[in-house]
Chain A
Amino acid sequence: MSAPHEMTAGDGPAARDSGEPVRNVTVRKLLRALWRDKLMLFPLLFLVALMVAAVGADLLAPHDPFDQNLRSRNVPPMSSPTSETSSFPYLLGADPLGRDLFSRLIYGARVSLAVGLSSVLASGTLGILLGLMAGYHRGWLDDLVMRGVDVLMGIPGLLLALFILFLVGTGFWNLVIVFALTRWMIYARVTRGLTLSFREQPFVEGAQTIGCSDSRIIFRHILPNLASPILVLATLEIAIVILAEAGLSFLGMGIQPPAPTWGRMVAEGRDYITSAWWLITFPGLAILLTALSLNLTSAWLRMVSDPVQRWRWFMGRPESRPEGDTELATAYSEPQSSRTDIESSEPAHGPAANGDHLLEVIDLRVNFRTPDGLLNAVNGISYTLNRGQTLAILGESGSGKTVSAEAVMGILDSPPAFVTGGSVLFDGNDLLQVSPSRRRRLCGERIAMIFQDPLTALNPAYTVGSQIAGMFQEHRGTSKREATAKAVELMDRVRIPSARERVHDYPHQFSGGMRQRVMIAAAIALDPDLLIADEPTTALDVTVQAQIMELLAELQLETGMGLILITHDLGVVADVADSVAVMYAGKIVETGPIEEIYSRPAHPYTKGLLESAPRVDRKMDSLQQISGAPPNLRFIPSGCPFHPRCAYVVDRCTVEPPPLYEVRHDRSASCHRIEDVMNVN
C-alpha cells in the first residue's frame, strides 16, 4: 500500500517536446512497479508460460493432441498411458476419444491466443483509426462514428457475433472479422476523447503552427501519447475476446474440429460430467486463469501508467471521522511536541479560566498527511467565543481558517487531515475527547455550520423542504409531515418568499441567495448555540451578500447564538463581527476587537489585508495588494512565517518566530515590530 513514488517521474521519451504529457509506460517503470507489486509476478508468469506453450506446442505437448486411443478413453489424471507413441503419463487425464487432455490444452492455448491477439489487433486498429479521425477532424465524421459507437454498444455483442457467424460461417478469419466488427467501439471512444483533449494542448497547437501535416501530427504527436491507455484497454480486450471465443466454441460456433479449443473441450466434456469431472474442469480453469491474468495485468498497467489512480485506489474518498484515527495521528505529531511553544503566553484569554465561554479553542493543531509528506495546516491556534458574540476568522485561502473550523465541527476529511493536538471546549466539554456518536449528535443540534457554495452544499436530489425537515427527523424523530410544516416556518423565518409553495422545489430551482437562506434555515432549525459560517457570502452577488449578513446578524440577535464568520474579506464582516482573529500559515497572527483592529492594525499582514480591501473611508486608488503568495504549508518560512512578504521585515524576523504579544488587555499580535506597525499611520 505504498504511496505513488513517481508522481513526477519524467522519464518518458516524450519529455523533450514542449509540454507533452508524460504518462507512457516505460520498461524501466514497469520493472520498478513489478518490484513493488511482487504478487503481479503470478499472472505475468502465467501469461508468459501460456505464450510459450502456444508457440512451442509441437515441442512441449507430451502427446499428439489428435492421437485417439480407445483403450485410454476418459482415463483420470495421472494415468499411465496405453499408447505406444509416448510413455508420458496423462497428466490431466484423457478425453472420450482417448486423447491426452494436457496436450489438447496446450494446443487450445494456441487457438485462444491466436484468436485473442489477432482480433484485438484488428479491432484496435479499426477503432483507433476511426477514433483518431473522429477526434481530429470532428464534424460529420465524428457524428457518424460516435453514432455508430452508440448503436453498436447498445447491442449485445455475443448475439451480434452469432448473427454474423450464422451468415458468413465459422472459421478463424471469420472469427477475427466478427470480433473486429463488434469490439472496435471502445477503442474509438477512448481514442477520440484523448485526441480531442490533446488537440487543445500546446504541443499539438505548436506543431500545427509550424505547419506539420495532419498525418504527421496524428502519428508523431498524438498516437504516441495514446500508447498507455490503449495498452491497458487492449489487455482487457484480449481477455474479453478469449472469453467470447470460448463461449462461441462452447456453442459450436467457434473454430471447427479437429483443432482443439478450450470452449469446445468443455462442451465435449458435458456429457461425462458425472463420470469424468476432469474433462470440463481443466479447460475451464485454463480459460478462467487466462482471463483473470489478463484482467489483473490490465488493472496493474493502469495503476502503473497513472499513479494518481493508484493513490485514489488506496486512499479513496477522504473520510470524516478524525476521532477514530487519533492514535495514528499522534504518531505523526512529532513536529508539535518537539517544538518550543511560542504562544505559551496567552495574554488575551486566560486558558480555561472560566466556564462561561461558549467555545474555547486551545492550541488546536491539524496536520494533513499527503503522499508528498506532512503538511501543517493549523499550528496551534487558540480563541474564545461567548454567547451572542460574533468572531470573524480572517485569512487568505490556505491560511487554515476553514480547516480549523472543520476541526471544531468534527467534520474534517480524515484522511488526509488529522487533529494532532489541543482541545475544543464547547460549554466546558472537550469535543476532541467525547465519543464520535455524541459529537455527531451535537452537530446540527447545538453547533451548526453553513458553507461557501450553497449550490454544492445542498443535496441536488432532495427538495429544499426535506433538507430542512431532515434536521427534525434525524435529531427529534419528528414525523415527516410535522417536519415539513416546520421547514415552511423556517423558510418564512429566513424570508424565502412563498415558502409554502416552494418547500417542494429542488435546490437548482433557487437563486444563489435563496439557496444560502435554505442552508441557514436548516442550520438554525434546532436552535443551535453556535453557528459557524464558512465564507457564507463569497459565492454570492455583492447585493445579496449584504442581505445574507444582515439575516445572520438578525438571527443571532433573536437567538443569542455565538457566531463564527470565516472570511477572506474583512469588509463583509466589519459591521457584524465583535472580534476578529487573523490567520496566516495556520496561526493566529492578530486578534482583538474589530474596531480596534480595523482602525489600528498591529500586524503588517492585517494591515495589508485592510489596505487591499476596498473601503468607503479610503480612496480606491490607494488599494494595494500584499505582494507575494501565501506560503506552501509544507515549507513554512523560518522565523516569522510572514517575513518573505512583509514590508517591515528586519533580520530578526527571519530567525526568531514572534510570540503572540499582548498589545492591550484584549488584543494581541504576533510580530516583532508591533509598535512600528501601529504608529506608522
Chain B
Amino acid sequence: MARYVARRLIQSLLVLAVVLTLVFFAGRVIGNPAALILGPEARAEDVKTLEERFGYDKPAIEQFGRYARGVVSGDFGNSWWQRRPALPMALERIPATLQLAAVTMLFALPLAMILGSLAAWKPGSPIDKGVNVISLTGASAVDFWIGLMLILFFAVQLRLLPTSGSGSLKFIILPALTLSLRPLGRVAQVTRSAMLDQLSKPYIKTARAKGFRERRIVLGEALKNAFIPIITLSGDEAISTLNGAVVVETVFAWPGIGLLIVSAVTNRDLPLIEALVFVVAIMIIVTNLLVDLTYSYLDPRVRYG
C-alpha cells in the first residue's frame, strides 16, 4: 500500500513538472508576457522597455532556469496586479474553495446516492422519473444564472439569505446549492445505472434467498459494490467543482481560488496565473490520490503490488 502511494506520488510529481513546464513555455512562446501586461493597445517601445526590465528578452532557456529555480523554492515571482508574491496569494484562497466544495459535495453526494439507489430499485417509479429530471436539469443548468436567480428569490425577494460575500454559515448556502446541481444529477444518474447493474447480479438473488430486508439488499449489498463507479465519478465531479467555482464564486463574491482565477485573467497577471495553475494541479492530484485510496479501501479485490 505504502509503495503504491509512493509510486503514485512520484508519477504525480512528474505530471506536475510537465504541466508547469508547458505553462511556462505557453506563457513565453504563445503569449508575450510584456504585451500581456500592457494589453493589446500597447506601443511597441513600451513593450520593449518592459521586456528588458523583467528579463523577458533573455533566451527562453535562461528564463526557464530562473523560473524552475523559483518554482522549486516556491517562488513564482510577484503578482503584477497586486505586487506581492503570487504563490501565497493563491494559497490563501484554498480554504474558502475547499469549504465551498466540501459543503457542496457533502450535500450532493449522499442525496444523489440515495436518489439513484431508489431509482434503480424501482425503475419507472416517480422517484426514478424525478432522478431523470434532476440529472437533466443538472446537465442543462446555467450555473451563473441559477445563482443569480437564487439571489433574486432568496436574497432580494424573501430577504432570507445574504446576496454575496462570505462570513457566517448563511453565506455558503446559496453558492453551495448552485454548485451542487450538476454533481447531484450526474452522481444520481451514475448511481442509478451502477445500481441497476449490481441489482441484477446473482449475489442479489442469494441475498433475497437469505431473507434479507430490501433495505439491506439495496443499501448494504448492492450499493457497496456500486461504490467503485460512483467514487470514480465523484472524484471527477469534485475536480469539476473547480469549473463551477470559477463562475459561482464570481456570482457570490466568494473569496476562493475561482474568483482569484478570474481576477488574474482579467488583470493579465501571468505570475499569478502560473501560481494558480500550480495550486490547482496540486488540488487535482490530491483528489485523484484520495479516490485511489478509497478504491483500495472499498474493493477487496484491488490489490496493489
Is A443's beta carbon under 8 Å from chain B?
A: yes
A456 near B202: Cβ-Cβ < 8 Å: yes
B145 near A288: Cβ-Cβ < 8 Å: yes
Q: Specify the chain B residue showing the minimal Cβ separation from A269.
A: B148
A159 near B242: Cβ-Cβ < 8 Å: yes
Is A462's beta carbon under 8 Å from chain B?
A: yes
Contacting B151 at CB < 8 Å: which of A246, A273, A461?
A273
Q: How large is the interface on A (under 10, 10 to 19, 20 to 34, 35 or more residues)?
A: 35 or more
Contacting B301 at CB < 8 Å: which of A166, A267, A406, A508?
A508
**Nearest chain B CB to A419's CB is how many angstroms away?**
15
B145 near A280: Cβ-Cβ < 8 Å: yes
Is B166's beta carbon under 8 Å from chain A?
A: no
Q: How far is the CA of A582 from the CA of B285 in the complex (A)?
A: 61
B201 near A456: Cβ-Cβ < 8 Å: yes
B265 near A440: Cβ-Cβ < 8 Å: no
Q: How far is the CA of A166 from the CA of B39 in the complex (A)?
A: 11
B143 near A316: Cβ-Cβ < 8 Å: no
> B152 contacts which chain A residues (CB < 8 A)?
273, 277, 280-281
A409 near B209: Cβ-Cβ < 8 Å: yes
B145 near A320: Cβ-Cβ < 8 Å: no
Encode B139-183 as 1/0 by CB contact (under 8 A) with A. Answer: 111111110110110001000000000000000000000000000
Encode B16-56 as 1/0 by CB contact (under 8 A) with A. Answer: 00000001001100110000100010000000000000000
A443 near B209: Cβ-Cβ < 8 Å: yes
Encode B114-130 as 1/0 by CB contact (under 8 A) with A. Answer: 00000010111000100
Q: How far is the CA of A140 from the CA of B221 in the complex (A)?
A: 41
Q: How far is the CA of A327 from the CA of B173 in the complex (A)?
A: 47
Majority DSSP secondary structure for residues of A touching B: helix
Q: Are A317 and B239 CB-contacts (below 8 A) given A277-B152, A443-B211?
A: no
Q: How far is the CA of A462 from the CA of B224 in the complex (A)?
A: 9
Contacting B300 at CB < 8 Å: which of A166, A253, A506?
A506
**Nearest chain A CB to B155's CB is how many angstroms away?**
9
Q: Are A456 and B212 CB-contacts (below 8 A) given A266-B144, A317-B123?
A: no
Q: How large is the interface on B (under 10, 10 to 19, 20 to 34, 35 or more residues)?
A: 35 or more
B243 near A157: Cβ-Cβ < 8 Å: yes
Q: How far is the CA of A165 from the CA of B266 in the complex (A)?
A: 11
Contacting B225 at CB < 8 Å: which of A277, A459, A470?
A459
Q: Specify the chain B residue showing the minimal Cβ separation from A461.
A: B224
Interface centre among B145, B156, B199, B240 (most CB of A within 10 A): B145
A315 near B225: Cβ-Cβ < 8 Å: no
Majority DSSP secondary structure for residues of B touching A: helix
Interface centre among B199, B206, B273, B299 (most CB of A within 10 A): B206
Encode B248-286 as 1/0 by CB contact (under 8 A) with A. Answer: 001000000000011001101000010001001000100
B300 near A247: Cβ-Cβ < 8 Å: no
Is B208's beta carbon under 8 Å from chain A?
A: yes
Is B136's beta carbon under 8 Å from chain A?
A: yes
Q: How far is the CA of A162 from the CA of B280 in the complex (A)?
A: 13
Q: How far is the CA of A451 from the CA of B148 in the complex (A)?
A: 57
Q: How far is the CA of A457 from the CA of B23 in the complex (A)?
A: 51
**Nearest chain A CB to B216's CB is how many angstroms away?**
7
Is A239's beta carbon under 8 Å from chain B?
A: yes
Is B246's beta carbon under 8 Å from chain A?
A: yes
Is A295's beta carbon under 8 Å from chain B?
A: yes
Encode B187-212 as 1/0 by CB contact (under 8 A) with A. Answer: 00000000110011111111111111
Given contacts A243-B141, A288-B145, A461-B299, 17 further A-B contacts (CB under 8 A): A156-B284, A162-B262, A162-B265, A167-B30, A243-B142, A247-B246, A247-B247, A250-B247, A273-B156, A280-B152, A288-B140, A294-B140, A317-B199, A410-B208, A451-B206, A461-B300, A474-B216
Q: B residues touching A (Cβ–Cβ < 8 Å)? A: 15, 23, 26-27, 30-31, 36, 40, 120, 122-124, 128, 136-137, 139-146, 148-149, 151-152, 156, 195-196, 199-213, 216, 221, 224-225, 239-240, 242-243, 246-247, 250, 261-262, 265-266, 268, 273, 277, 280, 284, 288, 298-301
Q: 8 tightest CB-CB pairs across the interface, nearest first?
A: A316-B123, A284-B145, A444-B211, A443-B211, A291-B140, A449-B209, A158-B243, A167-B31
